[in-house]
Amino acid sequence: MTGPTDTRDTGPRVGSPLWAYLAGVITTGLTVLAGALLLLDVAGFATLATEPVFWVIAALVVLGELRPVIVSSSMVVGGTYPSVMFTFALLLHLGLSVAVLLHALAIAVNAVVTRKAVHRTMFNIAQVTLASTAAAVVLGLFGVWPSPAGPWQPSGGDVPAIALAGAAYFVVRAMLVCMAVALHERRSPLRVVRASIGYQALVYAGLLGLAPLVVVVMTHSPGMVPLFTAPLVAVYFTATLSLRRDHQAMHDGLTGLPNRKLLVLRTGEALAEARGEDRVGLFLLDLDRFKEVNDTLGHPVGDRLLQIVAHRLTHSVRPGDVVARLGGDEFAVLLPSIRDQAAAREVAARLRVALTQPVRLEGMTFDLDASVGIALHPDHAPDFELLLQRADVAMYLAKEGRTGVELYQAEKDRNSPERLHLLGDLRRGLAGGELMLHYQPKIALGSGRVVGLEALLRWRHPVRGLVSPREFIPLAEQSYLMRQLTQHVIDEALSQAAHWWHTGLRTQVSVNVSARDLLDNALTERLESGLARYALPPTAIQLEVTERILMTDQAYTADTVRTLARLGVPLALDDFGTGYSSLVRLQRLAVSEVKIDSSFVKRLADPDSGDADRIVRSIVDLVRSLGLRSVAEGVESDEVARRLAAMGCDVGQGWWLSQALPVDEATLWLRARRTLLAPPAPAGVALTGHAGGGLSDGLAMADTA
């Protein structure tokens, strides 16, 4: 049975429970070993050393200690060394002192050959000494005290004594090793025993059962002792084939990491052991831009890169944590025990730091990065499949938001039962008239004139009440409902604009559309037919798109954009300043209005908002230089409105000017300001906003709503 730290050569932390345990076992074992050697019959041992059979057995002990028999790659405590058979035979025939001396020497040779750490070597010597002592005590209870001067030859009637001695030997070794593994990997000792005892008992039964036969052969036909290598070779061969098949079934062929099958097994064990306040964590990692490496340099280079990633991940986690490859450039990390969400984030950050170290291959340097999603048990899921699914959701949130690390959030899970139920409610609500438009005025900061209203969608759920657009709009964008939702909004906005327009309230209505809507030819057809049906000019409606549209090259050449330009329907760029716009792209999109994101505008109320002031002023100057209209969102105080006006910002929109109003209230609001309605400007024409009444007059009227 191998020692407790087979995967690493670093010693345990001084003062830790594992350190204390190893120190106790080593001290006890070496003390017993010293006592056994003091009791050694030196004269008898010297005589024994002159016999060839002794050296044959000694050689077999050493050879049998060089390579363990491992029957399963999923075993927790490793394999079993065939030297057990010969040392137990020496114990039965020549006594404890000879057996522990030769076994200790064999373990020392193994340590030199395999370069084992000192603490591992000492622990292995100690645990086999204690196991052999337990077996010797059992034999002593049956009156058997073999020694070099008085060797013992078992007979058929001694089978019970031998069986009990073998059982004592196995139990002591198994318990000592399993406890060390449990402390090393912070697992339940009982779970470690259950996971390994079956395999170990089977192999030990075979090896210890042959030991009495070795003794009989040593006594009557010493020359036949080497023949015992034949069954050992057969055991090795069979175990190797079994291990190879098992390893192939449980591990990834490229990186050697556990695969999904073994990850499921380990996660099941971790969930069964979970107790107290500790959590089980499952991380999903996906390499960013890995496909570019494969496409550019070929799959062999990509494979070598994956092997490097696997190496870095396995050396960045704790003993007992599991790193698995699920396929492609996707890896999983299982933490059988993690304190809380903050600790999970720290581990994820450490993994990303390990991966971001530059890699040099084929004369090129690669900068790796990864997106990590985290799901915890019992916080987020009760079983493996749900943990993996929710870690996957979190990973894609990290990738979309470019945050690097994300914990699972149910409200952002597009696949959660709650959101799927909400999607069904949205479909029924759309058909049942539960969705309506509210309208928020846009007011010229220099004159107080009303230059338009933005149509904002609201959903009054029969059970939930008013549902925030932040909940259902992203849900709709990821489903088949977005197109129907956009059609509903445009139809409602055109109908209301026509009602206002034909009753003398000629003002522009703005409608938000997504990038996908803008690239849909059906949008322009619906707009064109709606404008004709309601006898509205193209400027009666305006489409607002977010700045992300500038990141999509298709948008510049899309038929929809060209058709909208020919139709005369103006475009506004929403949330400006949060993306990566360029002047060239801004001009090519042919917008007539740029809306400054509220995150910048609200910061103007802060006395220490020097950065926000410079950013907003720069955007206003940029927009003016392009001949476009600037609109500030999120105007929530008189001070902010005046600062914006002083900067030359054309239009303001926000709660201080007016909140979003239901259609009836919006109509009354417009009628009260009939004389302040500014006719919609043609697409591409900026509104100066400085003619007519002063700022205070216009805002005072707006504030009376």
Which residue range(s) make up the domain with 199?
17-244
Alpha-carbon span 605 to 637, nearest angstrom: 8
For residue 254, being part of any structural domain is answered with no
- State residue 470's pLDDT score: 78
Rounded to the nearest 10°, the torsion over CA 244, 247, 252, 253 is: -10
Q: Which two tokens stand for residue 529?
A: 């037919």
Alpha-carbon span 392 to 408, nearest angstrom: 9
- State residue 683's pLDDT score: 52
- State residue 235's pLDDT score: 66
Q: Which of 349, 208, 207, 334 is nearest to 259 (CA)?
A: 334
Alpha-carbon span 411 to 402, nearest angstrom: 19
385 and 431 inside one domain: no
Q: Which of 119, 96, 97, 95 is nearest to 107 (CA)?
A: 119
Per DSSP bridges, beta strands 435-444 and 405-407 are unpaired
Alpha-carbon span 186 to 38, nearest angstrom: 38
**Mean pLDDT within 311-334:** 88
**Mean pLDDT within 674-691:** 60
pLDDT tens digits for 563-622?
787 888 888 888 776 544 445 556 566 678 899 888 889 888 877 666 778 889 988 998
Alpha-carbon span 286 to 333, nearest angstrom: 11
Cβ distance 153 to 215 under 8 Å?
yes
691, pLDDT greater than 50: no
690, pLDDT greater than 70: no
Alpha-carbon span 178 to 86, nearest angstrom: 23
SS (H, E, C) 2-68: CCCCCCCCCCCCCCCHHHHHHHHHHHHHHHHHHHHHHCCCHHHHHHHCCCHHHHHHHHHHHHHCCCC
What per-residue string of b and e applies to 450-479 under the rule 16 or more CB within 10 Å gives b?
bbbbbbbbebebeeeeebeeeebbebbbeb
Report H helices in 432-579: 469-477, 481-501, 515-518, 521-534, 554-557, 559-567
For residue 4, being part of any structural domain is answered with no
Domain containing 447 — which CATH number? 3.20.20.450
**Mean pLDDT within 249-256:** 84
The set of residues, in sequence order, having a beta carbon less than 8 Å from that of 283 and lying 6+ positions away, is 332, 333, 334, 335, 344, 347, 348, 351, 372, 373, 374, 391
Cβ distance 112 to 12 under 8 Å?
no
**Per mean pLDDT, which range of 302-306, 559-563, 672-676 is the poorest?**
559-563
Quick one: CA dihedral 360, 366, 367, 373, positive or negative? Answer: negative
143 and 53 inside one domain: yes
683 and 552 inside one domain: yes
**Mean pLDDT within 279-297:** 79
Alpha-carbon span 309 to 357, nearest angstrom: 10
- State residue 75's pLDDT score: 52
Alpha-carbon span 320 to 704, nearest angstrom: 67
Question: What is the rounded average pLDDT for all residues in the chain?
Answer: 82
Alpha-carbon span 58 to 94, nearest angstrom: 13
**Mean pLDDT within 349-357:** 86
Percent of the chain beyond pLDDT 70? Answer: 83
Cβ distance 506 to 537 under 8 Å?
no
Q: With cut-offs at 50, 70 and 90, classify the pLDDT of residue 341.
A: confident
571 and 682 inside one domain: yes
Q: With cut-offs at 50, 70 and 90, classify the pLDDT of residue 519.
A: low
Between 37 and 361, the higher pLDDT residue: 37
- State residue 450's pLDDT score: 93
- State residue 692's pLDDT score: 34
The DSSP output letter for 298 is -
Between 110 and 479, the higher pLDDT residue: 110
SS3 384: helix
233 and 339 inside one domain: no
Q: Which of 152, 410, 396 is nearest to 288 (CA)?
A: 396
Number of domains in the chain: 3
Residue with tokens 């216009």: 698
432 and 360 inside one domain: no
533, pLDDT greater than 80: yes
Rounded to the nearest 10°, the torsion over CA 452, 457, 460, 465 is: -100
130, pLDDT greater than 80: yes
- Report the length, in residues, of the chain: 705
For residue 654, being part of any structural domain is answered with yes
303 and 174 inside one domain: no
Alpha-carbon span 228 to 214, nearest angstrom: 8
For residue 252, being part of any structural domain is answered with no
694, pLDDT greater than 50: no
5, pLDDT greater than 50: no
Cβ distance 285 to 333 under 8 Å?
yes
The DSSP output letter for 609 is -
- State residue 609's pLDDT score: 65
Between 201 and 322, the higher pLDDT residue: 322
pLDDT tens digits for 415-463?
666 667 787 888 889 888 899 999 999 999 988 899 999 999 999 988 8
pLDDT tens digits for 179-194?
888 888 777 777 777 7
Rounded to the nearest 10°, the torsion over CA 253, 257, 259, 262 is: 130
Alpha-carbon span 469 to 150, nearest angstrom: 91
HSE toward the beta carbon, residue 522, CA cutoff 13 A: 7
Q: Which two tokens stand for residue 272?
A: 């069964």
Between 435 and 690, the higher pLDDT residue: 435
Quick one: CA dihedral 32, 33, 37, 40, positive or negative? Answer: positive
pLDDT tens digits for 137-159?
999 999 999 988 888 988 888 89
- State residue 126's pLDDT score: 94
- State residue 577's pLDDT score: 61
192 and 341 inside one domain: no
400 and 504 inside one domain: no
Q: Which of 189, 70, 66, 92 is nearest to 144 (CA)?
A: 92
Provide φ and ψ at 147, rounded to 5°.
-155, 165
The set of residues, in sequence order, having a beta carbon less than 8 Å from that of 223 and lying 6+ positions away, is none
- State residue 139's pLDDT score: 93
Peptide bond into 441 cis (omega under 30): no
599 and 505 inside one domain: yes
Residue with tokens 């009602």: 499
For residue 3, being part of any structural domain is answered with no
For residue 255, being part of any structural domain is answered with no
Task: Mark which of 191, 213, 244 sits at the end of a domain.
Answer: 244
pLDDT tens digits for 234-247?
666 766 666 677 66
SS (H, E, C) 616-664: HHHHHHHHHHCCCEEEEECCCCHHHHHHHHHHCCCEEECCCCCCCEEHH
Cβ distance 570 to 592 under 8 Å?
yes
For residue 621, being part of any structural domain is answered with yes
The reported pTM is 0.49
Quick one: CA dihedral 351, 354, 358, 359, positive or negative? Answer: negative
- State residue 467's pLDDT score: 84
- State residue 685's pLDDT score: 47
384 and 497 inside one domain: no
- State residue 10's pLDDT score: 56
585 and 682 inside one domain: yes
Between 231 and 157, the higher pLDDT residue: 157
- CB-based burial label for 37 (10 Å; 0-12, 13-18, 19+): middle
Provide φ and ψ at 70, rounded to 5°.
-120, 120
For residue 586, being part of any structural domain is answered with yes
Task: Mark which of 364, 391, 412 sits at the end of a domain.
Answer: 412
Cβ distance 594 to 628 under 8 Å?
yes
